[in-house]
Structure 1
Amino acid sequence: MRTYPFSAVVGSDDMALALVLTSISPEVGGVLVRGEKGTAKSTMVRALAAVQPDQLVVQGCRFACDPADPDPACPDGPHTDIIAVRRPARLVELPVGATEDRVIGSLDLQQALGSGQVSYEPGLLAAAHRGILYVDEVNLLHDHLVDLLLDAAAMGRSTVERDGVSVAHAARLVLVGTMNPEEGELRPQLLDRFGLTVEVAAPREPALRSEVVRRRLAYDADPTSFVARFADQEAELRDRLAAAQQRIGEVRLSDWALDKIAGVCAGFEVDGMRADIVTARAAVAHAAWHDRSEVTRADIRAAARLALPHRRRRNPFDAPGLDEDLLDQLLGDDDIEPDPDPEPPNPDPEPQAPDDNDDPPPNGPDTTPNDQTDRSDPADSPPEPPRQSEQDAPSERGQPVPVSVSEPGQPYRARLLTARGTGSGEAGRRSRALTSVGRTVGSAPTAGARLHFPATVRAAATEQQRRGRIVGGRLRFDRTDLRTAVTEGRESNLVLFCVDASGSMAARKRMAEVKTAVLSLLLDAYQRRDKVGLVTFRGFEATLALPPTSSVEVAARRLSELPSGGRTPLAEGLLCAAETLRWERVRDPRRRPLLVLITDGRATAGVDALARSRQAAAYVRSLGVDAVVVDCESGRMSLGLALGLATELQAEYLKLADVSAEALAVVASTRRAA
């Protein structure tokens, strides 16, 4: 199938430039592309491979050694009688569900169990050497795999020490990751490891959007003629890229340019020295792209716009960004006059074509449980709150209810809240679970990613006589002997916050304390790679303010804007949370939920509000959901309603002040002293 031409994708000049710069100089450290769905992220990356210059490789080398400069430590070497063959540059795609063995390589089981030889089977990093490694939805990849990829991209080598294998091989690659921020962010530590980052968005002008559709339809109708239409531009781009790769070693980075780069990075108060190094490398690549022999102010500006935005984050809830006015002020206009604005690598003013693979899923992150049709047994349905008559309706139904919006304070380190028992969800950092990573606690008779070699040998040992093994001969293995390691670690959970935003919570400025506590728990969920959701209730109804998502940044924004006031519909809040969890169990049955209910326990909305809230609590308990009740009641007279609610839910009970990990440490030390 023909690839959509790189030169036909327009409207994303920053992304095109970032991809070109890291192609010229892979030492830049890769590109992270952030953008909404349907913005041609995947299309541009796949198109980039088609304009890479062809390569000469050593024939038969699994690690694509360059015949002109073969790797002396190549596992397939040493290369003596070299035969060079030409091939196109490779594009290797890493699936989200890839294992560590698949990424870095592992023991060749066929060789080990067949001939008894220890042999290394290369992984995707070896396949991508001198090519492009593309990771779609990189924010959904396990953190330890992202670390492996970024280490290889930065150092140009991959080292494997596992399963009796000790191998190091070259892995000089162009790493490109794409992500949709709505589905969750990368940790700041991992963001910093990407050399460049760029934000992409679909055009909003109708004329540009219509041209996007026109181009895509033309390509789908006749790919051959569409590709031929841009053949000259593709050839020109390929030649220019090859020339820049040859020229980059001749570009001079003067002391003046280094001082400017250091001043810009210091002015933006970025942490560490990686920003300075990446900006310098990108500026040199930019100069080579524009056929310059020395780095100028224009090169530094272009490099800083791509290398610094994601390094400006001060906490996990900050969005990447860069103040370009400050950048111009830091660059100044002394010593060397800046060049005119450089042309982008794709000067065509027409818009980009969207990627079919980036279409939104039918049940996207904005889908709520209310969008679904309930086909469940009526016997499993929750108690339905009775309708209120007009004479029973409180006066605030016909009058504006006074509301207020409290701002949360500075988040603190929250105590660890976990689900009970041992789960089997995705690897994370919250509750105990049998996961793909962790300490080995047993074995299972299946052929999986992690071979349990002692258990495999033990399984084969009992069959040796039947298989005719002679004394002193090699062990005879069969596929049925294979055993996979069972590992126990930590899993990520769905943490659903159910927040009371009624008037009683607004009293005595408690809502600010509540928001601070929830923000602290959100920060904890971010660090533990959980999904989060937010249900709020006030007045006479409950609202799913945020359907379960991996984007805790969105949850933090919704929380900050949350108004408070009115009566307390506790039953409605519990029922909304229960329905949300019930539907999420259908969507993701392996991810265990944890309900965090934050309330003072009062129920004041409607007839028999307290009795209905107890019925709703019983229904939540029947779903088998682990819950935590955070009691927000204050004052000298305590009604103990939240404690009673926790008992009804069979939930862990906490006072609002006990959410802080520091407060928990004080209580523990006091108990030890007593």
Structure 2
Amino acid sequence: MTQQFPFSAVVGADGPEGPDPMALALLLTTIAPDVGGVLVRGEKGTAKSTIVRALAAVLPPIDVVAGDRFSSDPRDPGLSPDGPFGPDAPVETRPVRLVELPVGATEDRVLGSLHLERALSEGKAEYEPGLLARAHRGILYVDEVNLLHDHLVDLLLDAAAMGRSTVERDGVSVEHAARFVLVGTMNPEEGELRPQLLDRFGLTVEVAAPRDPALRAEVVRRRMAYDADPAAFAERYADAEAALRGRIADAQALVGVVRLTDAGLLKIAEVCAAFDVDGLRADIVTARTAVAHAAWSGRTEVTLEDIRVAATLALPHRRRRKPFDAPGLDEDLLDQVLGDEELPPDDDPEPDPQPDGPDGAGPDDSGDAPGDDPADETANSTDQTHNSTDQTANSTDETANSADQTPNSADQTPKSTVAGTGSTYRTRLLTVRGVGTGTAGRRSRARTSNGRRIGAAVPTGDRSGAIHLTETIRAAAPHQGARGRTAGQLVLRAQDLRVAVREGRESNLVLFCVDASGSMAARKRMEQVKTAVLSLLLDAYQRRDKVGLVTFRGTTAEVALPPTHSVDAAAQRLEELPAGGRTPLAEGLLEAAHLLAVEHTRDPQRRPLLVVVTDGRATAGADAVARSRMAAGVLAGAGITAVVVDCESGPMRMGLAATLAEHLGAEHVPIGEVSAEALLDVTRRAA
């Protein structure tokens, strides 16, 4: 067995002031598993995977029912298909398991499935446990959790919510306990998590490589020493590991007696309300984390420091924020809410507050009207300041509007402007034509590993998956006499095997080709364009697509963002996109064609969807119109599914974008009909 890098040897886990946030979050969620796990976000090369894999080695061992495949607790056997177990069932002690869930795992591997060998040889329908069963009472670790397929995310959500796994498939009906500490690591540059799964992580931490040269040198020194002699390196930290294991065991024993007073609970509620978090799960997780931190610190009562630490770990990913905003927490606001005074004792519970009325003023009987508070006066004056600022902004907009009405001279002078974006909206569904075979996602029709079963096929090099048991038996049945079948046995051959063919949805490469020329530079028009593209980016994020961004203006086109899973990066590039100059439409289309050709070589299974955002004008260079039609022909000849989002506006329209769509063989969508609501209105009017 490979010697694991010691938890105590990770720089940051052994700091003089205690472990850093990443190490502390992992320790707290193992002290109190009901906290709900940890999500570690950070750039590559920051020891995320190293410290998670080292965690299991410092956890105290657990007692399980001997021979039980589902790690049942002898004190509470619970749901175990191997049970029931009597009070005299043998008990064994074993280390806590760290079970890794690969991003590409199949549903059968995660949930468990029919034991195929026994089903075929003995005719018995026996359940073979999956990864969720193995992770019970342990740690389930998902590296690159943001790249996990949606159908696996759904399985994790169900297990995390219910604490058990239910399997109803292939003639098997099994339910077993599945309570585990969920730990995920991810690089935000590769895309974000679905909000439902993000909320299931109790704690989240952001990590980055240290900028202190001395710390960086120490990291390298320890890593090189470990690589040279792992056993000797682990021996150096054996005492520190034993001490940490003992402290965790003590905290686990103490967590049940830690007292959270009513005053502390009210303070937690105030903090969560101040940060405008969704739902009440934040309050519950913060309370549990504060109790765990008090136990880790050896205290039997929660303090303000415990609440502070808990809030910094439990709230950043739960506060309400705009799409593409990174999780974070305003620590100044946290200090303001917590205050400087310690929590009052809770020996004598306060009486229930009296209701408002003639006999009492409720919780606050000062009698002050809302407008009597000096803070209200300050707020009112601030509002007046905001109003005057708004008036100034309005006058600025009027000036900008009058400038927009001035004839555009950007075709002669490449002057640039940068417009903002409006509020995003739900967009209509844009899909690639036909049926693909790409990575499971949520956009276009495809043959995938999940989805509804539509048939069976002979397995080949490019067609594999779960065995279709019924079709396999049906293929073998006519040959049993010739194969000398005996009673109770089914004689199978390799040519009998059939795999399930499923149809679901795939993710695609959505490449945006955005016109940033002078004809688009009017403030209102460019704001509308950016809002539409940002809304489409949000849709691509929700459908697990890969995205890229090509822009064209002046005389050239450029790849503003190579294809990536990080729609946050695309949104940032879009926000900073300047506009002005001539319209090199042909150069933009040819750059998109080249980029798509390169990406097809890298990932031939991922089908592209080209979204061209333009008014269709081509003004850069000689024969600009002819060259743009030639470039459109190149894309159409390559079979690229395209959509032209027409940005032309005003009463007098030339229809150039619609003509471009014809040459591309693309769908033509006016920018006002990108939203799903607008499409519904158009459909209603047509009916």
Sort the TM-score into its range (normalised by shorter chain).
0.7 to 0.9
Aligned with 2:311 (options 260, 280, 304): 304
Which whole-Å CA distance do the structure 2 matches of 1:35 and 1:329 have between them?
Answer: 28
**Partner of residue 73, structure 1:** 79
SS in 2 for 1:646: helix
Deviations 1:632-653 (A, max 9, x none): 1223333222222111111111
* Gap runs ≥5 in structure 2: 14-19, 346-408
1:492 alignment counterpart: 507
Query: Is contact 2:557-2:587 (8 Å) kept?
Result: yes
> Paired residue for 2:470?
454
Match of 2:455 among 439, 442, 445: 442
Separation (CA, whole Å) in 2 of partners of 1:88 and 1:413 = 48
Q: 2:481 aligns with which of 439, 462, 465?
A: 465
Mapping for residues 198-277 of structure 1, pairs under 5 Å: 198-277=205-284
Task: State yes or no: 1:190 paired with 2:206.
Answer: no
How far apart are the structure 2 equivalents of 1:268 and 1:509?
33
SS of the equivalent of 2:205 reads: strand
Structure 2 counterpart SS, 1:327: helix
Partner of 1:533: 548
**Which residues in structure 2 correspond to 1:359-374 (within 5 Å)?**
none
Question: How far off its partner does 1:72 sit?
Answer: 4.3
Instruction: Report the 3-state secondary structure (helix = DSSP H, G, I; strand = E; otherwise coil) of the residue aligned with 1:311.
Output: coil
Quick check: 2:419–2:523 contact (8 Å CA) kept in 1? no
Do 1:257 and 1:296's aligned partners in 2 also have CA atoms closer than 8 Å?
A: yes
- The answer to whether the 8 A contact 1:26-1:153 is kept is no
1:87 aligned residue: 94
> Once the 2 structures are TM-superposed, how far is the Cα of residue 335 of structure 1 from its aligned partner?
5.2
Judge conservation of contact 2:264–2:343 (CA < 8 Å) in 1.
no
Q: Name 1:549's counterpart in structure 2.
A: 564
1:326 CA drift (Å)? 1.3
What CA distance in whole angstroms lies between the structure 2 residues aligned with 1:413 and 1:309? 25
After superposition, where does 1:503-652 map in structure 2 within 5 Å? 503-507=518-522, 509-652=524-667
Alignment partner of 1:654: what SS?
strand
Q: Structure 1 residues 307 and 611 mapped into 2: Cα distance closer, same or farther (>3 Å)?
A: same
The one-letter code of the counterpart of 2:479 is E
Q: Following the alignment from structure 1 to structure 2, what is the Cα–Cα distance between the partners of residues 635 and 250?
A: 71
Q: Which residue of 2 aligns with 1:403?
A: 416
Q: Distance in 2 between matches of 1:660 and 1:270?
A: 28
Quick check: 1:287 aligned with 2:294?
yes
Aligned equivalents of 1:547 and 1:97: distance in 2? 24
How far 1:542 moved relative to its partner? 0.8
Q: In the alignment, which residue of structure 1 is the partner of 2:45?
A: 38
- Residues 132 and 176 in structure 1, CA contact (< 8 A), matched pair in contact too: yes
Residue identity matched to 1:185: E
CA RMSD of aligned residues (A): 2.1
Q: Which moved more, 1:13-22 or 1:202-211?
A: 202-211
Q: Secondary structure at the match of 2:521?
A: helix
**How much does 1:38 deviate?**
0.4
Q: Report SS of the residue matched to 2:503.
A: strand
**Local SS of the residue matching 1:133:** strand
Name the CA shift for 1:72/1:174 in 2 (closer, same or farther; >3 Å).
Answer: closer
Q: Cα offset for 1:76?
A: 1.4
Q: Which residue of 2 aligns with 1:52?
A: 59
* Separation of aligned partners in 2, 1:289 and 1:612: 69
Higher relative contact order (CA 8 A, sep 6+): 1
Figure out how many residues of one structure are paired with residues of the other and give that number: 613
Question: For the Cα contact (< 8 Å) 1:188–1:316, is it kept in 2?
Answer: no
Q: Which residue of 1 aligns with 2:401?
A: none
Distance 1:475 1:4 in 2: 49
CA distance in 1: counterparts of 2:171 and 2:303, whole angstroms: 50
Counterparts of 2:37 and 2:158, CA distance in 1: 11
State the AA in 2 paired with 1:579. H
Matches within 5 A, 1:410-425: 410-425=423-438
Q: Encode CA deviations 1:256-313: one digit per residue, 9 max, x unaligned.
A: 2221222211221111111111111111111111111122211111111111100014
Deviations 1:375-427, CA, capped at 9 Å, x for gaps: xxxxxxxxxxxxxxxxxxxx999x97211101111112211111111111111
TM alignment of 1:104-253, pairs within 5 A: 104-253=111-260
Aligned residue for 2:479, secondary structure, equals coil
Q: Distance in 2 between matches of 1:670 and 1:157?
A: 49
Q: Secondary structure at the match of 2:104?
A: coil
Contact 1:422 1:434 in 2 (8 A): yes
**CA distance in structure 2 between the partners assigned to 1:555 and 1:146 by the alignment:** 24
Q: Percent identity?
A: 70
Residue aligning to 2:365: none
Choose the corresponding residue for 1:428, options 420, 441, 444.
441
AA aligned to 1:10 is V
Task: Specify the code of the residue in structure 2 equivalent to 1:536.
Answer: T
Alignment gaps of 5+ in structure 1: 339-394
The residue type equivalent to 2:677 in the other structure is: E
CA contact (8 A) 2:11 2:218 kept: no
Structure 2: how far apart are the matches of 1:396 and 1:156?
62
User: Which deviations, in whole Å up to 9, do the C-alpha atoms of 1:112-169 show, x marking residues without a partner?
Assistant: 1221111110011111222221110000001231232244345432222222222222
Which range moved further: 45-54 or 640-649? 640-649
Question: Can you list the C-alpha shifts for 1:609-640, whole angstroms capped at 9, x where unaligned?
Answer: 22222222222222221111112122333322
1:542-575 CA-to-partner distances (Å, cap 9, x unmatched) read 1111111111111111111100001111111111
Compared with structure 1, are the counterparts of its residues 532 and 406 closer, same or farther at alpha carbon in structure 2 (3 Å cutoff)? same
Residue type matched to 2:445 in 1?
R
3-state SS, counterpart of residue 11 of structure 2: coil
Higher mean C-alpha deviation, range 654-663 or range 327-336: 327-336
The answer to whether the 8 A contact 1:188-1:313 is kept is: no
